[in-house]
Amino acid sequence: MPTAPTPAPAPPSTESPGLVRRIGLFQATAINMSQMCGVGPFITIPLMVAAFGGPQAIIGWIAGAALALVDGLVWAELGASLPGSGGTYVYLREAFQYRSGKLMPFLFVWTAMLFIPLIMSTGVVGLVSYLGYLWPGMTSLEGDLVGLGVVALVVVLLWRRIESIGRITVVMWAVMILAVLALIIASYSHFHAAQAFDWPAHAIQLTHGSFWIAFASGLTIGIYDYLGYNTASYTGAEIKDPGRVMPRAIVYSIMAIMCIYLLMQIGVLGVVNWHDMLDTNSAAYTSVASVVLERAWGHSAAQVVTVLILITAFASVFTGLLGGSRVPYDAARDRVFFKQYGKLHPRHRFPVLGLLSMGVITAAGFLLGRHTSLQTLISLLTTVMVIVQSLAQVLALVVLRRRQPALHRPYRMWLYPLPGVLAGIGWLVVYGFADKAAPGIHPIEWSLAWLAAGCLAFVLWSRFEKVWPFGPKEIREEYLERQRLEDAPVAS
């Protein structure tokens, strides 16, 4: 999973006072990569193997990278032409204000209130799974209590000023890097190529429906692990030369993380027989990285690295809720969400309601994942994201090209509109197969229900705030206006 969700949207100003364009290509790429590679691969490698039924699981990582790449080109053009802080929030606001007022940015925040804490829930599920390696006698109830305790501890630690949190996140990120390197080095020090590439007969049957169901499940898991390739877009107001830096940072980070994930997947398969990962009660399924370390370097080394993975999982939840709690706060401050979320703690100056809301949803998501499966959580959070973020952004790109043709676009999507079309198809595959990936849970129906509830909430909110459809539309082509001011001749 990404170590943090999409950052909070900013107020409407494209460049708030004090923001300086100082982030270059290397830093922007590092920002993306730091969000992409968290605890995710440690907990999803067995899921990917189970989805494909063998070591051909590497197809899932490549497919996830391909979807991230074509979708990343959508982010690249939008981020380069609208280089402010806010990402999706800004793009939807600019593109859809003409017909639906503030509906789309409102719905984005509404869905973010669900999919961000669900991403964090996967981290808590992973933490409890790896804790089981150090505590083999842990009961189901004890695991539930530990997970809920972790969520409560994170909320308590975040109940303070942001200045005292920065140093903690740097240390936690360093621990995550150490855990990833340890797993890769250990796996290749005890590597068996014949085992890693022991593909079963008829592993790829393009004419068989079961292969495509496996592919869709693998694509969902893969794109979940690549989430974060868009992070630099949320800091657009601080990126130097965004037309050049934004697309390169997205492409470079995706390619680099794909290499890391492939190294991890192939390395693990060279140490742990893939048949062992199909047993959901085995250590090879619940804590595969610990098993790799134990077989390569012994039990003590495995225990040490397991502790590092536990810290990594905790860090992902910690930084995720830190950023996620700011999403409804900034939207409320921008008068696009319920104003109650715009209130800060009187002493420590953090958004109280946003933090508490996401903490509660994270805890509920953890219990759901514990008593169903991690795949269920991943299916739920991806389906919630697809309509209002992923597909909406593809459409926003087309709308902005038509509505604002004069907008300065330092980067224009390569082979437009093909990457957008492919991204849309990829997201529809993820969405369309969600119910099959999580049988009995009905992620599609739940995502539609959440969206319908968001539309109802918008109607109530807009009526109270007296904005469209109960008031005038507020059309403001902010970036075009700013562009005209910059291009206007200076009076002598």
Domains of the chain: 25-486 (1.20.1740.10)
- Cα separation, 436 vs 442, whole angstroms: 8
What pTM value is reported for the model? 0.88
Number of Cβ within a 10 Å radius of residue 264:
22
With contact defined as beta carbons under 8 Å apart, do 428 and 219 qualify?
no
Cα angle for residues 446, 450, 456 (degrees, 5° grid): 145
pLDDT of residue 14: 42
Cα angle for residues 175, 181, 185 (degrees, 5° grid): 145
pLDDT of residue 72: 94
pLDDT of residue 473: 86
Collect all residues with Cβ–Cβ distance below 8 Å to 313 and sequence separation of at least 6. 39, 42, 123, 124, 126, 127, 130
How many H helices and E strands in the chain?
21, 0
Over its C-alpha atoms, the chain yields an Rg (Å, rounded) of 22
Q: Strand, coil or helix: what is 85?
A: coil
With contact defined as beta carbons under 8 Å apart, do 309 and 38 qualify?
no
Q: Which is nearest to 64 in space by CA: 228, 192, 224?
A: 224
Residues β-bridged to residue 344: 351
**Buried/exposed code over 291-318 (b: 16+ C-beta within 10 A; e: otherwise):** bbbbebbeeeebeebbbbbbbbbbbbbb
With contact defined as beta carbons under 8 Å apart, do 296 and 271 qualify?
yes
- Cα separation, 361 vs 104, whole angstroms: 22
**What letter does residue 239 receive in the DSSP assignment?**
B
Tens of pLDDT along the chain (492 residues) come to 555 444 444 444 444 444 456 678 888 887 788 778 778 889 999 999 999 999 999 999 999 999 999 999 999 999 889 887 678 888 999 999 999 999 999 999 999 999 989 999 999 999 999 999 999 999 999 999 999 999 999 999 888 765 555 566 567 767 888 999 999 999 999 999 999 999 988 888 887 878 888 999 999 999 999 998 887 777 666 788 888 888 999 999 999 999 999 999 999 999 999 999 999 889 999 999 999 999 999 999 999 999 999 988 888 888 788 878 878 887 888 889 999 998 888 887 788 899 999 999 999 999 999 999 898 999 999 999 999 999 999 999 999 999 999 999 999 998 999 999 999 999 999 999 999 888 888 999 999 999 999 999 999 999 999 999 999 888 888 888 888 887 776 554
Q: Which tokens sit at 158?
A: 């975040």
Tell me how far CA of residue 296 lies from CA of 121, 137, 189, 270, 414, in angstroms.
30, 24, 7, 11, 45
- Cα separation, 377 vs 443, whole angstroms: 9
pLDDT of residue 56: 94
Q: What backbone torsions phi and psi does residue 344 show, to the nearest 5 degrees? A: -105, 155
Q: Which is nearest to 242 in space by CA: 479, 19, 76?
A: 76
With contact defined as beta carbons under 8 Å apart, do 80 and 242 qualify?
yes
Number of Cβ within a 10 Å radius of residue 419:
21
Tell me how far CA of residue 380 lies from CA of 368, 402, 432, in angstroms.
11, 33, 12
Cα angle for residues 200, 204, 209 (degrees, 5° grid): 115
Q: Strand, coil or helix: what is 355?
A: helix
